[in-house]
Structure 1
Amino acid sequence: MNQLCKVIIVDDEILVRQGIKYVLDWEREGFQIVGEASNGQEALELIRTLQPHIVITDIVMPVMDGEELTRIVKRDHPDIEVIVLSSFSEFHYVRSTFQNGVADYILKPKLEAEGLLHVLKNTWDKIPGLVVTGGADDDTLSVDFVLSRLISGYEINYDFGLLSSYFPYELFFYLGCDMRSISTIDGQSLDRLKGIIIGELEHKIPGIVHCTVQGDQSMILFLINLKERQWNEAIDAVKLLSQSMAESETEPRWFFSELFHELSKASAVYQDSYLKLLQYRFFFPEKVLLIHDELPKPEGDSDKFNLSHFTEQIKRLQLEEAFTDLRQHVTSLSLHYESDVFQFKSFLGNIIFNVTNQFSHIKALEESKYALFRAIDEAQDVDEAVLILESFMNKVIQHTFTSSGLQASNANMKRLLEYIEEHYAEPLSLTDLAKHFHFNPSYLSSLFTAHNKEGFKEHLNKIRTDKAAELLREDGAPISEISCKVGYGDHSYFCKVFKKYTGLSPSHYRRQYYSQE
């Protein structure tokens, strides 16, 4: 039977997946990429749903690596062939996958069109009953097929009249929905959420045209076509949808790409706007919606960090001065949302490595070093990464503090806690407190951790959450109003924080309380 050979790509790096997608004219060669996943667990769900012929997988990935994925695929789906991606240093892992029945392997540094195509064609020969053609005739291509080719950047002869009738309006943009926060995502729940999103958009914006773009298992992506005057309506509709979902078990993040007016720009906008928004989300952890046209102006280049001076300060035990300089530099780096995430994490890891070396005699610091490296590498956003660094700096200070001055620090801590209790509903930051009490911010940060086993931000969130819970029990005010009363200007962020500390969304908490009365 003549058909396209269906392929799934599994790699935790989105740029690697994109590179594989663009290295070949897949459909013309007889193949079709039907899905992507960032780890083995996501891939297994895709495999059950899409039934691919070939899985191309990386070896080293979080959650479930390629070795375990290969073993499960060959056990549960013996007809599916697996091709492994690896580097030279990972070749010992590849040997074990061959024992589980992997069809072939490709070295990442040597990934090129000719070599990949050769491996793919050798692999499809192993699949019984699969006769692959060179792809469909361009004159009879479907809209979805043509759109996928346009987004991938391929030149294609297509019936422009067909696309014009399918996309009748003057404005295009990509709408993405990140579902990584859902712990039990599967094909059915993904389809259900797609239906909810489409239903809400169609209800709010009559006549809107949408087309699903295949991609990462944890993402839902649409190409949206509408009238120019409907752009603000689309934003308002998604804002309402995000607020309603913030009250449920799902807390997705949304991405609006740059606007464009010609389908010929579909690939450029996908690459230069939408994919970059996915990278920028690391630096905007509190933003539920990232809209290309509303991004702040990028900050100028940050000054290079003086590592030699910092190390000298550490050697002299001038920790307060050293960590103050470091915090200022990290804050500056955090504002450069166009920066490379890997480089940002590498800088934090390098700092931990250098400081730990200076205190190699402190066993607790030395033993925790590699766990901190892993934690930073796995951090989902800038706040999480910086919190890991803060925890490390506080640990360093605690291990180098003497017992002198403890009485004074206890008194200072009492004053701080009383002030926060009185002013929790106001905009508060560590810098604000430092100015008010004439303390150094690094001293305050260390003081909080030493006395409370939690940082300033966690302490403030806990107080605000407790106050919000009290209002939810006693006050019938709207939840958005309560969020403002306890110091949160962003309703969706308030719901996220409240659920983190209580395990329930605000509306669920209120319903549960009243049902027990």
Structure 2
Amino acid sequence: MDDEPLVLEGLGFMIDWERYGFRVCGEACDGEEALGKIRELHPDLVVTDIRMPAMDGLRLLEHCTNELDAPSRFVILSGYDDFPTARKALTFGALDYWLKPIDVAEIHAALEKISRQWAVIDQESIEELPPGLRPQAATWPSPEVGDSLYDEEDRLMLAVKAGDEAVIGEAANRLCRLLKPTVAGDREAGKAFLSNVLLELSWEAAEGELTGLAPADQQDLSLPMLPNRTDRWADVLTSYACKVAEHLARQRMGTGPAWDVARFVREHYSEPLQLQAIARSLHFQPAYLGELFKKQMGISFLDYVHRTRVEAARRLLRRTNQKVADVARTVGYADPEQFTAKFKQWMNMTPSQYKNG
């Protein structure tokens, strides 16, 4: 479903759908036409753009989930690589998030992954695929209710950074066990919470990202689909967390002073930070160290500082009842307006919008 004819044509002719067990059964150029096609054809998989006339992709997904209870599963297609849209689409139950322009190899890999997952579901004799995940007013428990969950999430993150697969497995299993009574048997709320944990892991992988990795060292870190069966959630979470741990371990090898700078920022982000002072402590000339950091990390020193502070702020907004101004001061901003501007730069939403889900 797309409002650009060339994109529709490309999806139809460039993608080998039948190779992975799919067949194109219909096309639409706007959201309302797409809704009619879904009602008529009952497709197993719907690929929809975010930006469409009449009804956008997220509204289409939400409508089908809540109103039609359709068995269709969704993949979101968009030229907008922004965290809030990806998080919202995944919360609504999207299987994946594809970016334009179309990358044929990436889409084929994604279809192969979906096909394998569905084959497992069929093998386990699940009568029907889940219709999707209904949106929640907030996708995480209140701080009072979720303290033990957040403690276990922290333990999982620390194990990922340390590369300890045994502790990763223990933390993932314990997190999923604690989740059940916390969400009072609401499977959809549990799925929403774990989707945010997976996104935090994805962000952690991006935080450690360095440019110039050899192709053999690169790894598929696309977000996995949470199955409908709650007893398989821990396996999915463990597997993805181990992938992120391996990715971070490879990134640390041979990074030298750039990694030292990044580690210092992540340990002291709430303090005033100047590259000149860090360079002196590492016995480097500041201009050279700044260029080296940007070359290896793919981001300037100042942008890395702001991104690290925003990451810390996200955790506080999600887990505490602190006011936005207090969060700003806690992560190193004396000016709440500067904090709001930087948060919006990295998250495409204000701190208040993020806090309110």
Q: Which has the larger radius of gyration?
A: 1
Could you say which structure has the greater relative contact order, defined with CA pairs below 8 angstroms and 6 or more residues apart?
A: 2
TM-score relative to the length of structure 2: 0.31
TM-score relative to the length of structure 1: 0.22
Q: Which has the higher strand share?
A: 1
